[in-house]
């Protein structure tokens, strides 16, 4: 290679960046808004994300594989919570170049945060402390988190929801990633949408999000969604057959709602979002079933 070429070429930086944090701090919202499309479902309820989800970001500076993870929580007693908590840490057993430790300054530091601090301290990789929800000024417990600013290699304040300072965050991440001559993934392996989920899983996640948004208390935590059939009827129309599974008949009744109104509402919300995402007409046949054993399928 001639010296002229060498001096002109800016080395690219690429790597895998995993998020870590308590439930509800805004990890999935951040990944979606960094990537610019929905890869992970979000809701005001904790424990929305149940397994790690990857999404690819790339520009002239290089490639970043973001890994959204389930929030880490203290009391994991039931089988679903236990498994979800284990899954939160799985990405860190693989090659992760950088951790984004997200905190929500509007919530008090507590034992749950202490657990996350303990886990994060053991990670032998660079860490960026991401202070999220700066669009909210009151209440703030910023001072309780100050010690973390010293422990991490960089600090960035953002609003994931309003996309504030996301450019600064990306710039910080790129400077901390290793230089690599080659792309780390073939971008063609991440066709639109740029996620590592097959479409059935993605559709099931959208349905599960609507369950989280439209049911109360423990109901969302007893449920999952399964897609049985996706049939392309013609160039513009897709027929989807799916089920919401719950562990108990009582919850099944709540999910169906009076006169079937609740499940109809969940189905309509999911259908509309899928229509927007795919630009196709969607028929969604959605039913509710009791299956006490579905948590065993969490893997």
Q: Contact residues for ligand GTP (CB under 6 A)? A: 21, 23-29, 42-44, 46-49, 70-71, 132-133, 135-136, 159-161
Output 104 or 238, the one with its CB closest to Mg ion: 104
Q: Does residue 246 interact with Mg ion by CB under 5 A?
A: no
Q: Does residue 132 interact with Mg ion by CB under 5 A?
A: no
Given a contact cutoff of 8 angstroms between Cβ atoms, the answer to whether 158 and 166 are in contact is yes
Candidate segments 43-51, 164-172, 264-272, 286-294, binder of Mg ion by CB under 5 A = 43-51
Picking from 192, 295, 283, the residue whose alpha carbon sits closest to that of residue 236 is: 283
135 binds, among ligand GTP, Mg ion, none (CB under 5 to 8 A by kind): ligand GTP
Q: Is 59 annotated as a binding residue?
A: no
Hey, what's the torsion of the CAs at 107, 153, 15, 17, to 10 degrees?
-10
Shortest reach from residue 130's CB to ligand GTP, in Å: 10
Q: Is 28 annotated as a binding residue?
A: yes
33 binds, among Mg ion, ligand GTP, none (CB under 5 to 8 A by kind): none
Q: Does residue 28 interact with Mg ion by CB under 5 A?
A: yes
- Token look-up 């792309």 returns 183
Hey, what's the torsion of the CAs at 116, 120, 126, 127, to 10 degrees?
20
Output 48 or 223, the one with its CB closest to ligand GTP: 48
Output 20 or 173, the one with its CB closest to ligand GTP: 20
Picking from 259, 251, 236, the residue whose alpha carbon sits closest to that of residue 289 is: 251
Question: Does an H or E element contain 262, and which?
Answer: helix 261-278
44 binds, among Mg ion, ligand GTP, none (CB under 5 to 8 A by kind): ligand GTP
Half-sphere exposure of 25 (CA within 13 A, CB side): 30
Q: Is 124 annotated as a binding residue?
A: no
Output 27 or 252, the one with its CB closest to ligand GTP: 27
Output 46 or 257, the one with its CB closest to ligand GTP: 46
**Alpha helices, H only, 1-78:** 3-8, 27-35
Q: Is 159 annotated as a binding residue?
A: no
Q: Is 228 annotated as a binding residue?
A: no
Determine which residue in the list 14, 49, 58, 81 makes contact with Mg ion, applying CB under 5 A: 49
Q: What does each C-alpha distance from 292 to 78, 170, 221, 227, 289 come to in angstroms?
A: 13, 43, 13, 18, 10
Tokens representing 17 are 């960046």
CB atoms closer than 10 angstroms to residue 125: 17
Q: Does residue 238 interact with Mg ion by CB under 5 A?
A: no
Picking from 154, 151, 197, the residue whose alpha carbon sits closest to that of residue 175 is: 154
Output 62 or 91, the one with its CB closest to Mg ion: 91
Q: Is 69 annotated as a binding residue?
A: yes
Q: Which long-range contacts (CB under 8 A, 24 or more apart) does 185-194 make?
A: 185/56, 185/63, 185/65, 187/56, 187/58, 187/63, 190/56, 192/37, 193/37, 193/38, 193/39, 193/277, 194/35, 194/37, 194/39, 194/55, 194/56
Output 14 or 120, the one with its CB closest to ligand GTP: 120
Shortest reach from residue 88's CB to ligand GTP, in Å: 8
- Please tell me the count of residues contacting Mg ion according to CB under 5 A: 4
Picking from 180, 187, 197, the residue whose alpha carbon sits closest to that of residue 58 is: 187
Residue closest to ligand GTP when measured from CB atoms: 71
* Annotated binding-site positions for GTP: 21-28, 68-72, 132-135
Q: What residues make contact with Mg ion under the rule CB under 5 A?
A: 27-28, 48-49
* Annotated binding-site positions: 21-28, 68-72, 132-135
């Amino acid at each position: 290679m001639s010296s002229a070429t060498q001096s002109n070429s800016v080395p690219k930086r690429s790597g895998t960046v995993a998020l870590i944090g308590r439930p509800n701090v805004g990890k999935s919202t951040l990944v979606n808004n960094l990537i610019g499309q929905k890869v992970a479902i979000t809701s005001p309820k904790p424990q929305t994300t149940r397994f790690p989800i990857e999404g690819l970001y790339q520009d002239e500076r290089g490639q970043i594989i973001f890994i959204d993870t389930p929030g880490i929580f203290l009391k994991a007693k039931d089988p679903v919570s236990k498994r979800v908590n284990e899954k939160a840490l799985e990405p860190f057993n693989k090659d992760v170049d950088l951790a984004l430790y997200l905190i929500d300054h509007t919530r008090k530091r507590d034992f749950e945060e202490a657990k996350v601090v303990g886990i994060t301290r053991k990670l032998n990789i660079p860490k960026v402390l991401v202070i999220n929800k700066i669009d909210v000024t009151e209440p703030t417990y910023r001072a309780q988190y100050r010690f973390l600013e010293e422990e991490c290699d960089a600090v960035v304040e953002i609003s994931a929801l309003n996309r504030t300072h996301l450019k600064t965050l990306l710039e910080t991440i790129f400077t901390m990633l290793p230089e690599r001559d080659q792309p780390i993934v073939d971008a063609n392996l991440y066709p639109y949408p740029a996620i590592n989920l097959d479409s059935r899983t993605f559709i099931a996640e959208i349905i599960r999000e609507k369950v989280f948004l439209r049911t109360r208390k423990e109901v969302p935590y007893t449920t999952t969604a399964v897609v049985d059939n996706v049939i392309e009827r013609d160039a513009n129309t897709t027929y989807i057959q799916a089920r919401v599974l719950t562990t108990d008949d009582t919850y099944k009744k709540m999910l169906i709602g009076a006169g079937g109104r609740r499940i109809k509402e969940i189905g309509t919300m999911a259908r509309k979002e899928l229509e927007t995402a795919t630009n196709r007409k969607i028929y969604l046949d959605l039913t509710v079933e009791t299956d006490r054993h579905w948590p065993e399928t969490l893997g």
